[in-house]
Amino acid sequence: MKILVPISQVPDTTAKISFTDNDTTLNTAGVSFIINPYDEWYALVRALELKETGKAEKVTLIHIGPAANDATIRKGLAIGADDAVRVEGEGDSSFVAAQIADYAKNNGYDLILLGKESISYNSAAIGGLIAGDLEWDFVPLATKLEINGDAATLEQDADGGVSELEAKLPLVVSCAKGMAEQRIANMRGIMAARTKPLQVINAVGPDTKLTTIKSYQATPGRTSCLIIPEDNIDQLVDILHTKVRAF
C-alpha cells in the first residue's frame, strides 16, 4: 500500500497579508512560506505513522508549483516522506487536483491523504476534486484513520458529534485536527532530505482555467473598540440585549 500526500505551500500563519500590482498579486515581501499546516501536521504525520507500523510501504509527497518551492518540499522530506514529485505548472484547484489524480492513477497509489483545506485559499476543494477525477470514495474531515489490508476505519467530525466510519481502499481522506501530532524535523532528517529523490514532471491536461482571481482585498479591521468599565457591566448587557440582540 502506497500513500500519496499532496502538499501546498502557504504563507506562514503569522504572516500579514497585503497585495501589489493593483491588488491582483500577493505581496511576498517579508512573507515566509511553509507547508500548509493541515497537510503537514495531520496528513503527512499520519501517513508516516502508518508506514512506521507496517501498514504502508511508501509515503510520497506531491506538489504543484515552480522550482522556487523545492525548499518547502524538502521540509516535508526532512519530516520523513520517502520521496517527492513536483509538477511544473500553476493553475486553479481543478488543475491542481487533475495533476494529483493523474499521478496517483499511473503510479499505483491506494490512499491519498491531504489536509482538510489550505490556509491560503480555504476552499476545502482539492480532496473532493481528486476523488471525483478518480471516481474514488471520499472521506472528508477525518480525525482518525486506521488501515487493515484494504479496509479503513475512520472517525470524522460531524455536526454535534463524531461519525465512526468504515471504507475500502482506494480512498481519498482529508485530515482535520486530531488526526496526528505535529512533528519537528530533526538534524538527521534534514540531512537525509538533501539526497532523497525529488522528481520533476510536466503538467497534464487542459490549460484552460475554469476560474480566475480578478482582485484581492485585505479584510478591513474593526475601526474602534468601545472599552466598557469593569464596574459597568450593565452597559455591556444592554448592548448585547438591544443592539446585538443576542438574547
Partner 1 sequence: MSVLVYIEPIKDKIKKAAIESVSYASQVAQLLNTSVTAIAFNASEETIKEISNVGAEKVLNISDSAITTINIKSLAKGVIAAAKEENVNVIIFSFDGSGQSVAPYVASNLKAGLVAGATELPKVEGNKLEVRKNVFSGKASAIYSIESAFKIISVMPNSIEIASNPKSAEVVAFAPSTDLKDGVQLKNFKVNDDVAHGGVPLPDAELVVSGGRGLKGPENWGIVEDLAHALGAATACSRPVADADWRPHHEHVGQTGLAIRPNLYIAIGISGAIQHLAGVNGSKTIVVINNDPEAPFFKNADYGIVGDAFSVVPKLTEAIKKIKAN
User: What distance in Å separates the CA atoms of residue 193 and residue 150, rounded to the nearest whole number?
Assistant: 30
How many Cβ atoms are within 10 Å of 33's Cβ, its own excluded? 17
Considering only residues 28 to 67 of the shown chain, the ones binding partner 1 according to CB under 8 A are 37-38, 41
Residue closer to partner 1 (CB basis): 82 or 133: 133
Residue closer to partner 1 (CB basis): 135 or 188: 135
Q: How far is the CB of 82 from partner 1 (least distance, A)?
A: 26
> Using CB under 8 A, which of 33, 137, 185, 189 touches partner 1?
137
Q: How far is the CB of 200 from partner 1 (least distance, A)?
A: 25
Residue closer to partner 1 (CB basis): 159 or 188: 159
> Using CB under 8 A, which of 34, 58, 132, 183 touches partner 1?
132
- Say if CB 165 and CB 156 are below 8 A apart: yes
- Considering only the stretches 48-56, 83-91, 149-157, 183-191, report the one whose residues sit in contact with partner 1 under the rule CB under 8 A: 149-157
Handedness of CA 29, 32, 34, 37 (dihedral sign): negative
Q: What contacts 176, CB < 8 A, 6 or more positions away?
A: 38, 42, 116, 141, 142, 143, 157
Using CB under 8 A as the binding criterion, the count of chain residues that bind partner 1 stands at 83
- Considering only the stretches 56-64, 73-81, 131-139, 191-199, report the one whose residues sit in contact with partner 1 under the rule CB under 8 A: 131-139
Query: In whole angstroms, how far apart are CA 113 and each of 50, 91, 179, 241?
Result: 11, 21, 11, 46
> Is 138 among the residues that bind partner 1 (CB under 8 A)?
yes
One character per residue 87-126, x = contact with partner 1 (rule: CB under 8 A): -----xxx--x---------------------xxxxxxxx
- Say if CB 64 and CB 130 are below 8 A apart: no
Residues in the chain: 247
> Which grid cell sits at 19?
497585495
Residue showing cell 497534464: 204
- Considering only the stretches 54-62, 69-77, 163-171, 193-201, report the one whose residues sit in contact with partner 1 under the rule CB under 8 A: 163-171
Considering only residues 217 to 246 of the shown chain, the ones binding partner 1 according to CB under 8 A are 217-219, 221-222, 225-230, 233-234, 236-237, 239-241, 244, 246
Considering only residues 183 to 222 of the shown chain, the ones binding partner 1 according to CB under 8 A are 208-219, 221-222
Q: How far is the CB of 45 from partner 1 (least distance, A)?
A: 13
User: What distance in Å separates the CA atoms of residue 242 and residue 18, rounded to the nearest whole number?
Assistant: 36
> Is 71 among the residues that bind partner 1 (CB under 8 A)?
no
Angle between helices 126-134 and 93-106 (to 10 degrees): 50
> Using CB under 8 A, which of 128, 185, 201, 203 touches partner 1?
128
Handedness of CA 217, 16, 37, 89 (dihedral sign): positive
